[in-house]
Structure 1
Amino acid sequence: MAEKSERRVKLEASLQEDPSDTFLRYGLALQCLREGDVEEGRARLLALIADHPDDQVAAYQQLGQSYAETEEVDAAASTLRTGIAKALARGDDHAAAEMGQLLDSLD
């Protein structure tokens, strides 16, 4: 893997100061994905979801998108279906609709 970006290093440092900060955890996961560190990014999203299964709708969406990008259709579909249910339970129709469109594109 390439050298870590300055942004990623800063996110990691901030997260060491406050490991419970869900915003930082999500941001670092996305930065890992952006940098091509898919395994690390997915692991961070999965950990965030495990710790906050009902509150991290965006994590489901990003994880589902990551699986879709690598044509892991079953994992993408499962993640997106769960994310849609969580979004609807929170009243987040917009996120549910976005995930629904991505889910439909998998067929």
Structure 2
Amino acid sequence: MSRREQIEALLADEPNDSFLLYGLAMEYRKEGAHAEALARFEQLIQQTPPYVPAYFMAGQMLAEAGRANESRTWLRDGIEEAQRQGNSHAAGEMSELLMTLGQMGE
């Protein structure tokens, strides 16, 4: 059983577990299944409170895929949410990536 399959099996019992959803998104990302990864990141930011690391990883994945405009949107939203949650470290990481994307253009 692959790591992704193991996580999916655990999610069958705990479908809203943030750590499992995040782990599944990261496995999809590693496999190059960006649409599936993005769907899990979306699921994570719909939770209450939104899961801040999902914004950063989605932004990073989209940037690597050459989808800079989408990446910028995820990062801007993530910075706002991180600030709302008092997570200055995450906001700083996303700000740094956003600045890099601004210099890269599209």
Question: TM-score w.r.t. structure 1 length?
Answer: 0.89
Per the alignment, residue 42 of structure 1 pairs with: 38
Partner of 2:57: 62
Identity among equivalent positions (%) equals 40
Task: Indicate conservation of the 8 Å contact 2:44/2:50, yes or no.
Answer: no
**Structural mapping, 1:1-107, within 5 Å:** 6-52=2-48, 54-107=49-102
- State the one-letter code of the partner of 1:104: M
C-alpha RMSD of matched pairs (Å)? 1.2
TM-score (norm 2): 0.90
Structure 1 unpaired stretches of 5+? none
Structure 2 residue runs of 5 or longer lacking an equivalent are none
In 2: Cα distance, 1:34 partner to 1:83 partner:
21
SS of equivalent to 2:46: helix
Residue 32 of structure 2 aligns to a residue in which SS?
coil
Q: How many residues align?
A: 102
